[in-house]
Structure 1
């Protein structure tokens, strides 16, 4: 099944395309349209179909009702007279285009994969001079899926928390449309509570042979409450093994990740390890079970020590009073990331994928990530 949209003022439209003009606001009856039109404008430059007209979707979201599943999205971007500058996030605020530029007269087609779990495919636009000429959405069952199980350092953000970011939100940016990221991570969960709440079961309803299950916990396994605590010598690796066994039961590939570090330094500027035995438990289990391991703790340690206490404030959720609209009183969070941090940690994950030569994931990395 494919949906096709042509953006621009009312007028001629290419066969099999639906015209999206200034009157098309989303409603349940049509099942598609912009969430808001206040900052959206439509322009026509020439009579060429698709490339001759376009929409400037400034700070808005275009939504389409679709069945839950995986999709390949193809986007045509360009302007005959002006350069363009577009950023784009999809469902779960997954970054797919970051400051994407075209020069005057250039038209570019970009493709990416999207996982839909709430019946709506959403394209949220940003950038200094965003454009959209045409859009195609095609259902697909052929893509490789990376399922993410983890905590708040991995999760997608909830509305109203910008610039909060988990690295899972940013992982899609590094892959071609052949790979889809299904981020099931959620804040506050441990290996135990994630399973007890049925979240691993939900992954198992979808995951298939050839897919991947990336597993990163530890932050909340340290918590003292009964619902979340696991012991690094016993119950922590026992719970992690349940994820490994579940993935292998459907011939998917489990990948263990050590916990990304928190932002705590000693007097010499060296990073303080707040996870300790939990990190060694993951490394030991990976060796025993012959599971691929991305040592995100070691990679983030190197990055954070290189940047130092001051430099890492640009990665973590730090801000002065009034700097971030959603944290108007200021914030100093040494565990969670802002978007630049989420993007940086996702790049470390991609580095690990490349080092392990995880096929076909390595083959589907964008050139900029190789």
Structure 2
């Protein structure tokens, strides 16, 4: 097992410039231990990993105070173990053009330190093969959005755990349950999934698109059949499946309520969860309550592209939905909920924190194009 000790000056330079730094690693889970602080000043550091996964939020130290914090970060590459001769299979995930060169599909671990006064004196990286893993499957509202003001609940979720589990976000923009299967993304997840791991799935935004006949799933037939097949594969490996209904789009009616655009798909997710005895997080219900509470004037402040995008979220909106998922896991008594952070913020979608009071260093200055499937 190889340990990487990163020198003091290199990490301080990274913090001062708020730039990303990559370290060569093998695919898998890695424990990353950072020592925050500075001898002559107070510090305030937020840590992002890979494609902007929120690992640690606003770690503060007083002058002369030093504080160690550890997290587990998952890295991977597209490769799959070649199948035996004459057996069906594939040797790699079929990545799309937007994933070329992206941090989450390389043999490196990427860290970014940022904030009003970021500083760390060292970082130690060690393999963590025994750490449990939470796998995320889904579309653009779940994937780690790499730039601009776009964000998803999947990339905010690591902040709400205690640093003892890894979150492997395999979601990707434009994905459906069919394409996730055909592009070997499910194979990639199953190739490393172990007993005791957790798989959280949220599809639906793209599956319902009749204009995509190659991946369309009909609400009452093929849609629940695919859900059950995914659940069966996960259970077969001793892991815990969790189903999540798709959050609503920001479409208000004249009386200030959210109009549902998902038809019967969310209800069929609920029905499959009940029939299969698996946990459910109802983001459709939570998001409708949240957007209604914010109202037509404030709700755009939860969405990307300065509110012009009515589907995808910014850091504020993604953070609120990640909180909803974390509290949903705890309410459902999913085993991995034992690893939720002790400082898990309270969450009430009917009385959300004001967007004006939300202050998380996250957004990049570059402009991001709309995700696939938008």
TM-score computed with the length of structure 1 as normaliser: 0.82
Alignment partner of 1:3 is 2:10: no
Q: What is the rounded CA distance, in whole Å, between the counterparts of 2:294 and 2:251 in structure 1?
A: 13
SS in 1 for 2:120: coil
* SS of the residue 2:291 aligns to: helix
Cα deviation per residue 1:84-116 (whole Å; 9 max; x = unaligned)? 111110012101122221111211111111001
Match of 1:363 among 316, 331, 338: 338
Q: Provide the residue aligned with 1:337 in structure 2.
A: 313
Tell me how far 1:120 sits from its aligned partner. 0.4
Distance in 2 of aligned mates of 1:362 and 1:277:
29
Q: 1-side partners of 2:217 and 2:319: how far apart?
A: 29
Change (3 A) 1:222 1:56: closer
Of the candidates 233, 240, 247, which is equivalent to residue 260 of structure 1? 247
- Structure 1's 135 and 346: CA in aligned 2 closer, same or farther, altered over 3 A? same
Map 1:58-207 to 2 at 5 A: 58-117=17-76, 118-158=106-146, 161-207=147-193
Q: Are positions 1:281 and 2:268 aligned together?
A: yes
1:184-223 Cα deviation digits (max 9, x unpaired): 1011111112112211111001111000111101100111
Offset at 1:58? 2.2
User: Is the Cα–Cα contact under 8 Å of residues 15 and 114 in structure 2 kept in the other structure?
Assistant: no
Does the 8 Å CA contact 1:151/1:185 hold for their aligned counterparts? yes
* Deviations 1:64-84 (CA, angstroms, capped at 9, x unpaired): 101010011100011122111
The reply to whether residue 246 of structure 1 matches residue 246 of structure 2 is: no
CA contact (8 A) 1:76 1:134 kept: yes
Q: Does 1:348 align with 2:324?
A: yes
Q: In structure 2, what is the Cα distance between the partners aligned to 1:350 and 1:303?
A: 16
How far off its partner does 1:57 sit? 3.2
Larger radius of gyration: 1
What pairs up with 1:37-52 in 2 under 5 angstroms?
Answer: 41=13
**How far has the Cα of 1:271 moved from its partner?**
0.7
- Structure 1 match to 2:99: none
Shift of 1:56: 4.0
Distance in 2 (CA, whole Å) between partners of 1:127 and 1:282 is: 39
Distance in 1 between the 2:109 and 2:16 partners? 16
3-state SS of 2:320 partner: helix
Q: Which residue of 2 aligns with 1:230?
A: 217
Unaligned 5+ runs, structure 1: 9-19, 21-33, 35-39, 42-54, 320-330
Structure 1 distance, partners of 2:218, 2:15, is 53
Alignment RMSD (CA, Å): 1.4
Question: How far 1:130 sits from its partner (Å)?
Answer: 0.8
Q: Distance in 1 between matches of 2:134 and 2:248?
A: 22
TM-score, length basis structure 2: 0.81
CA contact (8 A) 1:5 1:136 kept: yes
Structure 1 residue 6: Cα displacement: 2.9
Larger RCO of the pair (alpha carbons < 8 Å, separation 6+):
2
Aligned-partner Cα distance in 2 for 1:179–1:69:
12
Aligned length: 314
Q: Secondary structure at the match of 2:163?
A: coil
Partner secondary structure for residue 57 of structure 1: helix
| Equivalent position of 1:31 in the other structure | none
Structure 2's unaligned 5+ residue stretches are: 77-105, 346-374
Which residue of the partner structure matches residue 88 of structure 2? none
Distance verdict in 2 for CA 1:78–1:272, change over 3 Å: same
